Chains A and B, each alone.
Chain A
């Protein structure tokens, strides 16, 4: 065992790094959001400006990220559920091998991949035309809000599935087996027994994905070149085009609030559930 003093000395450099590289800029981002540099005073002017310019984008970001999270949740429950309850061993092994591929593919690569795949003359539309499901005139580009949602789901589903499948694998099998012996259908076992027990893992995975999607700049820039767009694009634009840190930080503050609301909702529910059990 290492003594208390040595432990503190060992961890100190990492703490200093976190304070300098993370806590300081975070603090500044909160302060600068309320600083109106042109007028030389403090106030909420940046926020009124941010809302009047970008209210559509704020709502757009909220809808896109929520929709993506819902899709990721549904897909990851379906995949991890089959991995846990599937009867065909070969199908389970194949699915386990298959679902993880996009796990570590960076967002910027996922965006490039989807930019070509979902375009009006991309591979998806070409394949549908070849199959006779669409005529060339009916094809449409998916490079809009749908493209963003598809890219987010494609990239983040493996991550949440990995967490969920891990949590499901460590569940006590006896309850599942006794329900099976009583003749319960697998869908009912999944939603009645399995999912409630891994709900916490699911929520953690989805919240982490939610924050990640709120931070991604490359995907909305490369997939969705029109208005409305996501807040990250607006922040980069305010800084690169105007050097306007006030409005950019006000938008950042709004992004913090959106993620904090989700985390707060989760923590409150968690605390209430724990109290209920105690």
Chain B
């Protein structure tokens, strides 16, 4: 029966794909809870939480990086939104000459290998004393997230129903009042999506921090990198797991924030 053979084949291919995706992740999760794992054992000899304790020990190196990461990501969101909301309003609702050129300008950093730009930012920051400071790292992260924050904000404002604004204006609300009581609340889910996106980009950013922050400021990705290069796979895997959880959660919920009416307008 060809139908059954076909179903078995499809099942096999899906199982292989699942192995390819979850195999590496489960290997990392094993390492995160390993106490001892020496060659040639196929599985860890003992499991435990002693490395977790080391990561979460107050005043430990790891805890500092963790706090740094969260503080920097939060600051990056604030800085990005402060620039992206007005820019998104202008792009989504304003009258701009050469609008497409402005839109593409924000995309430009994605068209160049970012490492070559980052090392020169670091050199410039060094001369003006921004290297190794929180502000320096936040600015580099904000640059990385700029295209997403501006484009999503523009799409979110562009998708707001104009008739509702007009209705409010007809009832005597001034332009500022219309913006804060109608436009902004309606655009809020899209702006939330852009904020979460920027938060994640900052949390995961590696090369910019590598050049601008190190050695004064380390973040979780840098901690993960150093631990991995030193062969400390437990610390590296625990950090990797801490970075993995928000990424996967975001993947699962993004469609709730980015509704298709906003998504269809991104980049237009």
Co-complex (A, B): yes
Q: Which of B4-49 contact A (CB under 8 A)?
A: 7, 10-11, 14, 17-18, 20-28, 30-31, 39-40, 42
As a 0/1 sequence over residues 131 to 150 of chain B, the CB contacts with chain A under 8 angstroms (1 = contact) are: 00000000110110010001
The answer to whether A8 touches B96, judged by C-beta atoms less than 8 angstroms apart, is yes
Given A108-B224, A112-B224, A112-B237, check contact A117 B23 (CB 8 Å).
yes
Contacting residues of chain B (80-96) with chain A, CB-CB under 8 angstroms: 82-84, 86-87, 89-91, 93-96
- For residue B106, give the distance in angstroms from its CB to the closest CB of chain A: 7
Alpha-carbon separation in the docked complex, A4 to B243 (Å): 43
Q: CA separation between A115 and B236, bound complex, in Å? A: 11
Q: Is A232 an interface residue (CB 8 A)?
A: yes
Please state if B210 and A236 are interface contacts (CB–CB under 8 Å).
yes
Given contacts A17-B83, A28-B124, A208-B110, 9 further A-B contacts (CB under 8 A): A25-B121, A32-B120, A121-B39, A211-B110, A216-B115, A221-B225, A221-B229, A222-B228, A239-B119
Inter-chain contact B119/A126, CB cutoff 8 Å: no
Are the C-beta atoms of B114 and A21 separated by less than 8 Å? no
With A and B bound together, what is the CA distance between A212 and B247 in angstroms? 18
B1 → A minimal CB distance (Å):
15
Q: A124 CA to B116 CA in the complex, in Å?
A: 35
Contact A109–B117 (Cβ < 8 Å): no
Asked if A191 lies at the interface with its beta carbon under 8 angstroms from chain B, I say no
> Which of B56-64, B186-194, B199-207 lies at the interface?
B199-207
- In the complex, what distance in Å separates the CA atom of A8 from the CA atom of B87? 9
B120 adjacent to A116 (CB under 8 Å): no
Q: Is the CB of A105 within 8 A of B114?
A: no
The answer to whether A18 touches B229, judged by C-beta atoms less than 8 angstroms apart, is: no
Contact size range, A: 35 or more
Known interface pairs A117-B24, A217-B210. Does A14 touch B115 (Cβ–Cβ under 8 Å)?
Answer: no
Measured in the bound complex, the distance between the Cα atoms of B208 and A232 in whole Å is 13
Question: Which chain B residues lie closer than 8 Å to A4 at the CB level?
Answer: 94-97
Q: Is the CB of B139 within 8 A of A126?
A: no
Q: A14-B146, A17-B146, A245-B123 are in contact. Are A22 and B90 (CB under 8 A)?
A: no
Number of contacting residues on B, CB 8 A? 79
**30 residue pairs A–B, Cβ–Cβ below 8 Å:** A1-B93, A8-B90, A10-B86, A13-B82, A18-B106, A22-B109, A25-B124, A28-B120, A91-B10, A101-B248, A104-B247, A108-B204, A108-B206, A108-B221, A109-B240, A112-B228, A112-B237, A112-B240, A113-B25, A116-B28, A116-B31, A214-B113, A215-B115, A216-B115, A218-B207, A232-B113, A245-B120, A249-B120, A255-B115, A255-B116
The reply to whether A106 and B206 form a contact with Cβ atoms under 8 Å apart is yes
On chain A, the residues within 8 Å of B39 by CB distance are 121
B171 at interface by CB-CB < 8 Å: no
Which residues of B sit under 8 angstroms from A2, Cβ to Cβ? 89-90, 93-95
Set of chain B residues within 8 Å of A91, measured between Cβ atoms: 10-11, 14
Residue pair B17, A211 in contact (C-beta under 8 Å): no
Q: Does A39 count as interface, using CB distance less than 8 angstroms? A: no
* The one of B96, B113, B116 that contacts A11, using a Cβ cutoff of 8 Å: B96
Whether the Cβ atoms of B113 and A252 lie closer than 8 Å is yes
Give the complex CA separation of A139 and B180 in angstroms: 63
B86, A211: Cβ atoms closer than 8 Å: no
Is there a chain A Cβ closer than 8 Å to B67's Cβ?
no
CB distance from A74 to the nearest CB of B (A): 14
The residue among B94, B111, B229 with the most chain A CB atoms within 10 A of its own CB is B94
Q: In the bound complex, do residue A217 and residue B207 qualify as a contact, i.e. CB atoms below 8 Å apart?
A: yes
Q: A212 vs B111: C-alpha distance in the bound complex, in angstroms?
A: 9
Q: Tell me which of A45-53, A92-100, A174-182, A192-200 binds B.
A: A92-100
Is A103 part of the contact surface with B, judged by Cβ < 8 Å?
Answer: yes
Q: How far is the CB of A4 from chain B (nearest CB, A)?
A: 5
The reply to whether A106 and B113 form a contact with Cβ atoms under 8 Å apart is no
Cβ A107 vs Cβ B24 within 8 A:
no
Docked complex Cα distance between A232 and B11 (Å)? 40
Is A7 in the interface zone, CB < 8 Å from B? yes
Question: Would B27 and A116 count as touching, CB distance under 8 A?
Answer: yes
